[in-house]
Amino acid sequence: MKLLDRMLRGRVDRLVAESLAEQLEKEQLDALYRYRVHSDRARLQIHPTAVVNNALFNTGGGTITVGEYAFFGHFVAVLAGGHDMEKFGRERQLAIPRTGHDIVIEDGVWLASHVLVLGPCTIGEHAVVAGGSLVRHDVEPYTVVAGRPATVVRRLTPPQGAVRRPPARPASGAPPT
């Protein structure tokens, strides 16, 4: 009887797991592969070839653009929003600048897991941001940055024929990272 119970339980477990997987796929409910948007979804532009997994995008203080073939690890936060720290109490909760914190993540950028990006900034094409890093300023194309705050650890050699160009727009007055 124990053998029959184990066989039956194994079969039921497989059927339940398969059914659940089908339902998750059908309804796109797998949280590890869905991103969330806080504030105005129209201020977020993600190229169809980008892979963003379960990122959080806050568009409260600006626009966020994600380029072709950019990809994110898990638990990445891209925040173009903030609050006025000179205010206090309820006033601070409501004092949200609505512009000036735009974020551009250019083509081919890799943001590893647990990266935090604070706008305004531009992350140049094919740059790599190491896991757990905090990006507060522009990152030059073909650059690897790491740390809190992110600093340059290496420069990448662009493929033959690629033109190394500066970030699309200087987002902040601070020097590139």
SS3 breakdown of the chain: % helix, strand, coil, rounded to 5? 20, 25, 55
- Residue whose token pair is 């740390």: 147
Q: Is the pLDDT of residue 170 over 90?
A: no
Higher confidence at residue 20 or residue 160?
Answer: 160
**For residue 23, how many C-alpha atoms fall within 13 Å in the half-sphere facing its CB?**
6
**3: confidence class by pLDDT, cuts 50, 70, 90:** confident
The answer to whether the CB of 111 falls within 8 A of the CB of 149 is no
pLDDT over threshold 90, residue 112 = yes
Contacts of 136 (CB under 8 A, 6+ apart): 118, 121, 149, 150, 174, 177
Confidence of residue 117 (pLDDT cuts 50, 70, 90): very high
pLDDT for the residue 80: 95
Type of residue found at 92:
R
Residue 50 has what pLDDT?
95
Average pLDDT of every residue of the chain: 86
pLDDT band at 160 (very low <50, low <70, confident <90, very high): confident
Q: What is the mean pLDDT of residues 107-136?
A: 97
6-50 pLDDT per residue, tens: 677 667 666 666 665 666 566 655 666 788 998 999 999 999 999
- Evaluate if residue 65 carries a pLDDT over 80: yes
User: Of all helices (H) and strands (E), which one includes residue 98?
Assistant: none
Q: How far apart, in whole angstroms, are the C-alpha atoms of residue 44 and residue 125?
A: 18
- Find the mean pLDDT for residues 126-143: 98
Residue 72 has pLDDT above 50, yes or no: yes
